[in-house]
Amino acid sequence: MVDQGKPDRRTRKFSEVVPPKPPSTIRLTNRGVPPVRNLGPLEQLLGVWTGLGTGWNMIALPFHNAPAPPAGFKFRVLMNQYSEELTFTFVDDDVPNRGLLRPGQTDFAQFVVTVDYQQKIAQVFAEDRPDSGGLAGQNGLPIHHEPGLWLYEKNRRSQDDQIKGDVV
């Protein structure tokens, strides 16, 4: 069904698509969380970072309902613009962890800083070709969520590890 006054999306070409512009007053920012001591390089990440309408993605997806070639395609190309939010939260400091026994050293404990992250991505605009009849999804559709941890080993550096194969 076509809304009155709006062109039918199914007949447009990619060259005719004008994606919505993100608000000009909002930029990628860190809302500023007070830093926790001794986080090393992870200290700069703490807070909430947002990019509104700044991401682009293009992917080929199977197109199961398409007519057989040469009349149709086995894949469709999905292009979407997205907004992203990354949240970095301090979890713990000086977490003891057993590490590798290094040649000439008796202390193999690692002390780790832990920072949790959550990444959320929501679609701003999407279109696919050939048109799939709505499989591209609606604006605002959540399309990715990723949780995880970043670890920073405080008391060891890669140059401390002089491991060369099986040589001790």
Strand-by-strand arrangement of the 47-62 sheet: 29-30, 47-62, 75-98, 109-129, 142-153
Structure confidence at residue 12 (pLDDT): 62
How many Cα atoms occupy the beta-carbon half-sphere of 95 within 13 Å?
14
Structure confidence at residue 36 (pLDDT): 54
Structure confidence at residue 40 (pLDDT): 83
Write out pLDDT tens, residues 138-166: 888 899 999 999 988 887 665 555 555 55
Greater pLDDT, 164 or 96: 96
Where is average pLDDT lowest: 13-17, 90-94, 111-115? 13-17
Give the separation between CA 140 and CA 143, rounded to whole angstroms: 9
Q: How many residues belong to the chain?
A: 168
Cα torsion 53, 57, 62, 65: sign: positive
Using CA atoms, how far residue 123 sits from 14, 55, 105, 110, in Å, is: 17, 9, 52, 40
Encoded tokens for 88 = 């970095």
Q: Does residue 16 have a pLDDT over 60?
A: yes
Collapsing DSSP states into helix, strand and coil, what is residue 159?
helix
Q: Does residue 37 have a pLDDT over 70?
A: no
Q: Mean pLDDT of all residues in the chain? A: 76
Cα torsion 44, 45, 48, 53: sign: positive
> Residue for token digits 């076509």?
2
pTM above 0.85, yes or no: no
